Amino acid sequence: MSMPCEVAVKSVVPAIRAGLAKELIQTYELKQNDVANLLGVTQTAVSKYTRNVRGGVVAINKTEEIQQMITATAKTLTNGELSRRQLAIRFCEICRLVREKGLMCELCKRSNPTIDISQCLLCMNHSDSSKCLSDI
């Protein structure tokens, strides 16, 4: 059984990186090497993100609020206003929003078919984790 954070690491984090990589290249016309340095990944990873080879499992770009966070993060990265620590915090904020919006539910279900995603509130309700995964 995979925990939601494990699913997020494999799907949401790459989707966030892909969104940032595309934004940084398309909007700010950065080179792949520069994007790789900003994101702390390899140039090869950036290439895969931009070609939709990696990071496309969760469609975060279709949610306006998440896309706005990606855009704002890209802007602060290019301005040099975001430390590595702040970038990590921003990733967590975006990931939390992805989870709260239920964009990861189907992936959790694939990871653990016994989960009843209509009853699982783990990602959508941080205040009461006793309601989470009650049917497992």
Domain assignment present for residue 23? The answer is: yes
Residue range of the domain that includes 69: 4-131
pTM of the predicted structure, to 2 decimals: 0.84
Backbone angles phi, psi at 82, to 5 degrees: -125, 115
Instruction: Give me the mean pLDDT over the 13-19 stretch.
Output: 95
Give a yes or no: residue 62 inside a domain: yes
Distance CA(50)–CA(43), nearest Å, equals 11
Structure letter (DSSP) for residue 65: H
| Structure confidence by residue, pLDDT tens digits, 54-104 | 877 778 888 899 999 999 999 999 999 999 999 999 999 999 999 888 888
Compute the average pLDDT of residues 102-109. 84
User: Of the given ranges (12-16, 32-36, 44-48, 116-120), which has the lowest mean pLDDT?
Assistant: 116-120
Q: Give Cβ neighbours of residue 89 (< 8 Å, ≥ 6 apart).
A: none
Q: How far apart are CA 118 and CA 64, in angstroms?
A: 24
Please, which pLDDT band fits residue 125 given cuts at 50, 70 and 90? low
Q: Establish if 136 belongs to a structural domain.
A: no
Backbone angles phi, psi at 41, to 5 degrees: -130, 180
Average per-residue pLDDT for the chain? 86
Instruction: Please report, to the nearest 10 degrees, the dihedral formed by the alpha carbons of residues 30, 32, 38, 40 taken in order.
Output: 170
Q: What is the mean pLDDT of residues 39-51?
A: 96
Number of folded domains that form the chain: 1
For residue range 86-99, list pLDDT tens digits in order: 999 999 999 999 98
Check pLDDT > 70 for residue 28: yes
Please report which confidence band the pLDDT of residue 126 belongs to, taking 50, 70 and 90 as the band edges.
low
**Listed residue (78, 123, 117) closest to 99, CA to CA:** 123
What string of DSSP letters covers 4-54? Answer: HHHHHHHHHHHHHHHHHHHHHHHTT---HHHHHHHHTS-HHHHHHHHTTSS
